[in-house]
Amino acid sequence: MQPVDMLIKNAKVVSPESTIDACIAIRGEIIVAVGAEEAMPPAKQVIDAGGKYVIPGAIDSHVHFRTPGYEYKEDWYTGTGAAARGGVTTVLEMPNTNPPTGTVAALTQKQEIAHSQAVVDFGIYGLLDENNIDILEDLIAGGVSGFKCFMGNTFGNLPAPSDGAMLEGFEILAQHGMRCTVHAENPSIMARRQGKMEKAGRTDSMAHLAARPAVCAMEAVSRAAIFAEWTGARLHIAHKSSADGLYFVRDAKRRGVDITVETCPQYLLLNTDMMQALGKEGGIMRVNPPIREPGHEEPLWQALLDGTVDMIATDHAPHSPEEKTRASIWECDCGFPGVETQMPLMLTEVNKGRATINQYVAWSAANPAKAWGFYPRKGVIQAGAEADIVIVDMNKDETIDQGGLFSKSKITPWHGRKISAKPVLTMVRGRVVMQDGEIIAAAGTGRAARQQMPAPKPRNLDKTTAAILDYKA
């Protein structure tokens, strides 16, 4: 038998359906066999997993790596290095950089940066906004993995498109089978409320939630789902934060709308009591959508368990400590880093019995791979797949220390939180990029993840903006 390049032995190989004691044989970038040690070919290099769980690398559908434009917050080396630390082997990066990724020139610029700095694989989101509907097809041809529509304002203050532009954008994306992620919050409700609260002199951290109640998200989720159903566009709901409105998602899925949903560890594990406990430093937990009152966490867990929510993402949103700790909540930048801590936090919950490791692998790897057209090339450990593999230690008691983050953003609400599990080795396409916390891959070894979305299923084609303009009386 021809020797393979690498063999991972003594592994507990996890998929959504099963956990098997097996070896993994890798040739070049590809897994060529998973099976009993006796059946494996000889290998040039052997990694002994020592009986640990070996899982597909996580695919994080929501990160902000800030470059170009805000390099002091994060760049593609520190962002993807943080990902590798966290067992994340593919990231989808958001367009609210400067320039925003809403033109072909900006996309090309970001692709060059990503190719030269990344240590994990990536996809790049194009922006869908009021003024770029006519070039969405150019962005698709340029290689975006999906689109992001900021229905509500957040960092970068990109204005929400009008409903007219959004619907027209969805008409176009539907015909290409592309998925559009929405930041679903209603901007006019939020602006009005924040204005009133600022006028009233509120600067405390609880004012942030009061300005962005869950009805903002409910309304925007339902509006986006209506547009997706009408056009046949594929829709992804970013950072589902509240119990409210889960029934809209359930209903849309039941009706056959291609809608996928992510939630994040912060909405499963944090609440405003913890934000209040931070006192003057409550801004550390300021994020959009906001951390909710106690009581939303459990329904979100249930929604993951019953499949209403498909996946775990992080909304990795790095800012500097100074930007996160200003006196007024309105002055604190929204978001915090997360790509590095998601897997330890979630596996710690697995250790507590909240979910099985198989369910976790569905949420972190298999489901995002399916939603974004990476499956079965990514998101699964089986012959033919790319060797994006993470060895996890499920018996590692540690405390999260923000000073030790690989991200430039050394401030997180997870600081001081106890974890009992973490990734100890991350491999991207057969290359070890992280071992025992050290990033050992060179910048520029990550590449654009190859995507194959299922066939488009556009609807109401006779009523699209293009179709009505074509009408001849």
The residues binding ligand DOR (CB under 6 A) are: 64, 96, 154-155, 183, 287-288, 315, 317, 334-335
**Minimal distance in Å, beta carbon 287 to ligand DOR?**
4
d(CA 18, CA 359): 10
d(CA 126, CA 197): 34
Residue number of the CB closest to Zn ion reads 315
Q: Of the two residues 311 and 317, which places its CB atom closer to ligand DOR in the complex?
A: 317
In sequence order, the 6+-apart residues with CB closer than 8 A to the CB of 418 are 348, 397, 398, 399, 400
Residue number of the CB closest to ligand DOR reads 335
SS3 track for 271-323: CHHHHHHCHHHHHHHCCCCCCCCCCCHHHHHHHHHCCCCCEECCCECCCCHHH
334 binds, among Zn ion, ligand DOR, none (CB under 5 to 8 A by kind): ligand DOR
287 binds, among Zn ion, ligand DOR, none (CB under 5 to 8 A by kind): ligand DOR
96 binds, among ligand DOR, Zn ion, none (CB under 5 to 8 A by kind): ligand DOR
d(CA 458, CA 168): 12
**Minimal distance in Å, beta carbon 152 to ligand DOR?**
8
- β-bridge pairing 431-435 and 438-439: antiparallel
H-state helical runs in 122-205: 136-142, 163-176, 187-199
Structural Rg of the chain based on CA atoms: 22
Q: How many residues bind Zn ion (CB under 5 A)?
A: 1
Q: Of the two residues 288 and 426, which places its CB atom closer to Zn ion in the complex?
A: 288
**Minimal distance in Å, beta carbon 64 to ligand DOR?**
4
**Minimal distance in Å, beta carbon 311 to Zn ion?**
14
Q: What sign for the dihedral angle of Cα 338, 344, 349, 355?
A: positive
d(CA 40, CA 1): 9
**Minimal distance in Å, beta carbon 315 to ligand DOR?**
6
What type of residue is 418? K
Site for Zn ion in 311-340 (CB under 5 A): 315
**Minimal distance in Å, beta carbon 333 to Zn ion?**
12
Q: Of the two residues 155 and 227, which places its CB atom closer to ligand DOR in the complex?
A: 155
Q: Of the two residues 183 and 431, which places its CB atom closer to ligand DOR in the complex?
A: 183
Could you give the 3-state DSSP secondary structure of residue 355? coil
Segment interacting with Zn ion, rule: CB under 5 A, options 158-166, 225-233, 308-316, 423-431: 308-316
**Minimal distance in Å, beta carbon 418 to ligand DOR?**
25
* Chain residues that interact with Zn ion, rule: CB under 5 A: 315
